[in-house]
């Protein structure tokens, strides 16, 4: 397999106006960056998750020309001379530098202009020449004198080994484009002064089955294959926590990374798929685990709602869809073939007319948020118009503790358990609902980890569509049990969500809506709150009075405008405007109180209408019927 087909790219540039414009845009971007490229090993990078506004959780705007000024994209607040944020700016600048090297490789091949070769040598050569001068440090800001003394998680150029691996793989991709046109002496220097030193840094940090050590292994393997470094290759594929073992033990039988986040699922796929690509390029036998990677791409497509929006439990970023990850599908399509099942999935993703959901950090390069650099380089000939339709059906991912049921445009995703604490949210029995092309309720995932609301709201039980006991977060991170699965039914239970408290939830779809029955079984009487966060406008006039939920921690402190609904009947019907539809919720209220409130969205400058149904008892049934009018 060849990484790059120049004739194929040129042929498609001639046929595709977007490709032409992308190349021209990249020329401008590269020139603008290179006219004043400079770095300094004395500048320490800081963790990107700090780059969020403390006032509203908005992402701060990275501006290469203002290293000491950082402006919130939402409220416009300006942070000046903030040491921590200045350090994040350094991290983002270095990411941009490495992406510039990669873009320069493409431009050199297309234009044959030697200046682009010099740009790669200048950027990559700088980091090779000065690599060991960069201070060993971690995302917490701690610095260390030597690898022997460092704590787990350190980087040199980047704030942690994870980010170091990401940029190292991008460096190798840039060099792969020009390896036959750049001097052997330069490539040897990069190997000896950058890759070998990075190997020393990353090797001791590969110590468990987890997305970060997996990424480090992938970075080591890609560097090793490109440089024909047997020690690196052997470590990546034969070491104690090698990539094959990571895939065997870290991926469920359903084809998902065990940490239960769709973003971390694709994040691990990004590193692994790059390693698989370079294994193919250098005729190295990746092993039978290649099929695991293939299954992960197929399973992730089946996991999506009909509108290709992705359910988003646990840690990650908000508002993701399959198109968010088209760049990784592009690499996979290069490996498995444009006419393969994975290639057809990518065609369907590219053919869809929705806007790609973006990530705030570690952004891949896209032209106008439409065409990824990977697509341009690896599969420029792909034609989305030839996509074969893929039927999206109900499916239960039992070893991943989740499932999605679909009927007549009504989709409910149901998460009923965990596979451990890593990146988990306390959200047993949480559901997300899409009706047609509209989201009735989605999981917020979280904002950057450095953001106040991440730990105070997004990682709290009340921010999810589930039940809270006595104002406390769920404590279990164990799997649940599926009791019944049919195309229109998902019924599951979990024991000891809290000590002595078990949950069961049954979701049943009809052609016009769904029934939600949530059972609580406890050994003692408790205050039990059922939460459902609605992304539709309430249009029913209600009689209410101001109320206090009593609890003021674990997320309750961020619930506002709490009103108790005055109702003397055993049930109540509420009408909601959702897009061009009216949805009715029929809520059983026998022995229960109903509250309407506001709670933070993500980003937190927005808010959602929150239903809270409260009952004090040991055994409770919450029953709601949602239907399209």
Kindly write down the DSSP assignment for every residue of 134-199, as one continuous string.
Answer: SPEE-TT--EES-TTTPPTT-BSSSSSHHHHHHHHHHHHHHHHHHTTTS-HHHHHHIIIIIIHHHH
Q: How confident is the model at residue 107 (pLDDT cuts 50, 70, 90)?
A: very high
Asked whether residue 380 is domain-assigned, the answer is: no
Q: Residue 387 has what pLDDT?
A: 98
Q: Quick check: 57 pLDDT over 90? A: no
Q: Quick check: 515 pLDDT over 80? A: yes
Kindly write down the DSSP assignment for every residue of 534-579, as one continuous string.
Answer: E-SEE-S---EEE---S--STTGGG-EEEEEEP--SSEEEEEEEET
Continuous segment of H or E residues that includes residue 510: none
- The Cα-based distances of 493 to 478, 507, 514 in angstroms read 12, 12, 19
Contact 469, 522 (CB under 8 A): yes
Kindly write down the DSSP assignment for every residue of 376-408, as one continuous string.
Answer: HHH-TT--GGGPPP-----EEEGGGTEEEEEET
CA distance 553 to 460: 9
Q: Residue 603 has what pLDDT?
A: 80
- C-alpha dihedral, 297 to 299 to 301 to 302, nearest 10°: 170
Give the rounded distance of the alpha carbon of 508 from its chain centre.
29
Contact 187, 171 (CB under 8 A): no
Region 452-473: mean pLDDT is 96
Number of structural domains, the chain?
Answer: 1
In degrees, to the nearest 5, what angle opens at C-alpha 163 toward C-alphas 78 and 119? 85
Region 137-146: mean pLDDT is 95
Phi, psi of 358 (to 5 degrees): -100, 155
Asked whether residue 202 is domain-assigned, the answer is: no
Tens digit of pLDDT for each residue in 345-386? 999 999 999 999 999 888 899 999 999 999 999 999 999 999
Asked whether residue 479 is domain-assigned, the answer is: yes
Region 148-174: mean pLDDT is 97
Q: Residue 55 has what pLDDT?
A: 78
Q: Residue 448 has what pLDDT?
A: 80
Region 188-205: mean pLDDT is 98
pLDDT-wise least confident of 335-349, 493-507, 556-570, 600-614: 600-614
Asked whether residue 493 is domain-assigned, the answer is: yes
Q: Residue 390 has what pLDDT?
A: 96
Percent of the chain scored above 90 by pLDDT? Answer: 95
Burial label, 597 (beta-carbon count in 10 A; 0-12, 13-18, 19+): buried
Range of the domain at 551: 395-628
Q: Find the helix packing angle between 243-250 and 230-238, rounded to 10°.
A: 20
Q: Residue 453 has what pLDDT?
A: 87
CATH code, domain with 552: 2.70.98.70
Length of the chain: 629
Q: How far apart are the first and last CA of the chain?
A: 55
Contact 311, 305 (CB under 8 A): yes
Q: Tell me the three state secondary structure of residue 282.
A: coil
Contact 31, 373 (CB under 8 A): no
Q: Quick check: 152 pLDDT over 80? A: yes
Cis peptide before 89 (omega within 30 of 0): no
Q: Quick check: 343 pLDDT over 90? A: yes
**Residue 32 contacts by C-beta under 8 Å, 6 or more apart in sequence?**
none
CA distance 364 to 328: 10
- C-alpha dihedral, 73 to 78 to 83 to 88, nearest 10°: 10
Nearest to 173 by CA among 122, 99, 110: 99
Q: Tell me the three state secondary structure of residue 420.
A: coil
* Token pair 């416009």 in the structure block, residue: 76
Q: Quick check: 74 pLDDT over 90? A: no
Asked whether residue 553 is domain-assigned, the answer is: yes
Longest dimension (CA), the chain: 84
Q: Residue 452 has what pLDDT?
A: 81
Tens digit of pLDDT for each residue in 121-133? 999 999 999 999 9
Asked whether residue 19 is domain-assigned, the answer is: no
Q: Residue 576 has what pLDDT?
A: 98
Tens digit of pLDDT for each residue in 319-337? 999 999 999 999 999 999 9
Burial label, 566 (beta-carbon count in 10 A; 0-12, 13-18, 19+): exposed
Q: Tell me the three state secondary structure of residue 438.
A: strand
User: What pTM, to 2 d.p., does this model score?
Assistant: 0.97
Asked whether residue 235 is domain-assigned, the answer is: no
Phi, psi of 286 (to 5 degrees): -65, -30
Q: Is the dihedral of CA 557, 563, 568, 572 positive or negative?
A: negative
Q: Quick check: 56 pLDDT over 80? A: no
Contact 459, 426 (CB under 8 A): yes
């Amino acid at each position: 397999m060849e990484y790059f087909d120049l004739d194929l790219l040129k042929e498609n540039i001639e046929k595709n106006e977007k490709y032409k414009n992308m190349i021209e845009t990249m020329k401008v971007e590269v020139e603008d960056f290179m006219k004043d490229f400079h770095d300094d090993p004395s500048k320490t990078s800081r963790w990107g998750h700090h780059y969020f506004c403390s006032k509203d959780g908005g992402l701060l705007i990275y501006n290469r020309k203002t290293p000491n000024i950082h402006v919130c994209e939402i409220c416009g607040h300006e942070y000046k001379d903030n040491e921590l944020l200045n350090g994040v700016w350094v991290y983002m600048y270095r990411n941009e530098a490495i992406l510039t090297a990669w873009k320069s490789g493409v431009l050199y091949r297309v234009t044959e202009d030697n200046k682009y070769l010099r740009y790669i040598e200048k950027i990559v050569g700088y980091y090779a020449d000065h690599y060991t001068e960069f201070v060993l440090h971690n995302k917490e800001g701690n610095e260390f004198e030597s690898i022997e003394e460092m704590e787990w998680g350190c980087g040199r150029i980047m704030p942690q080994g994870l980010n170091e691996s990401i940029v190292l793989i991008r460096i190798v991709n840039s060099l792969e484009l020009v390896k036959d046109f750049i001097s052997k002496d330069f490539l040897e220097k990069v190997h000896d002064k950058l890759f070998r030193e990075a190997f020393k840094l990353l090797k001791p940090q590969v110590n468990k089955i987890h997305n970060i050590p997996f990424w480090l292994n992938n970075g080591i393997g890609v560097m090793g294959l490109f440089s024909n470094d047997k020690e690196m290759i052997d470590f990546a594929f034969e070491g104690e926590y090698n990539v094959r073992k990571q895939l065997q033990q870290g991926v469920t039988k359903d084809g998902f990374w065990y940490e239960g986040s769709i973003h971390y699922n694709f994040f691990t796929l990004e590193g692994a798929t790059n390693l698989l690509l370079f294994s193919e390029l250098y005729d190295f036998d990746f092993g039978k685990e290649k099929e695991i990677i293939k299954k992960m791409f197929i399973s992730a497509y089946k996991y999506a709602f009909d509108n290709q929006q992705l359910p988003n439990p646990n840690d990650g970023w908000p508002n993701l869809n399959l198109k968010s990850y088209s760049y990784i599908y592009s690499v996979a399509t290069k490996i498995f073939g444009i006419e393969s099942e994975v290639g057809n999935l990518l065609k369907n993703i590219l053919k869809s007319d929705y806007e790609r959901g973006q990530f705030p950090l570690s952004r891949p390069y896209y032209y106008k948020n439409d065409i990824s650099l990977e697509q341009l380089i690896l599969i420029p000939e792909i034609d989305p118009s030839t996509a074969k339709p893929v039927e999206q059906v109900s499916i239960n991912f039992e070893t991943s503790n989740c499932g999605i049921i679909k009927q007549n445009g009504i989709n409910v995703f149901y998460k009923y358990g965990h596979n451990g604490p890593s990146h988990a949210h306390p959200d047993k029995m949480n559901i997300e609902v899409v009706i047609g092309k509209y989201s009735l309720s989605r999981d917020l995932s979280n904002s950057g980890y450095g953001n106040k609301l991440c730990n105070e709201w997004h990682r709290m039980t009340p921010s999810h569509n589930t039940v809270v006991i006595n104002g406390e977060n769920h404590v279990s991170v164990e799997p649940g049990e599926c009791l019944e699965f049919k195309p229109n039914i998902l019924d599951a239970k979990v024991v000891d969500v809290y000590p002595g408290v078990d949950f069961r939830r049954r979701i049943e779809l009809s052609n016009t809506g769904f029934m939600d029955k949530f059972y609580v079984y406890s050994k003692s009487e408790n205050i039990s709150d059922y939460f459902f966060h609605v992304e539709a406008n309430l249009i029913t006039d209600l009689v209410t009075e101001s109320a206090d939920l009593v609890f003021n921690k674990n997320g309750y402190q961020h619930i506002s405008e709490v009103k108790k609904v005055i109702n003397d009947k055993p049930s109540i019907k509420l009408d909601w405007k959702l897009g061009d539809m009216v949805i009715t919720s029929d809520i059983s209220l026998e022995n229960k109180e109903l509250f309407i409130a506001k709670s933070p969205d993500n980003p937190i400058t927005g808010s959602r209408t929150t239903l809270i149904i409260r009952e004090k008892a040991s055994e409770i049934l919450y029953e709601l019927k949602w239907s399209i009018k």
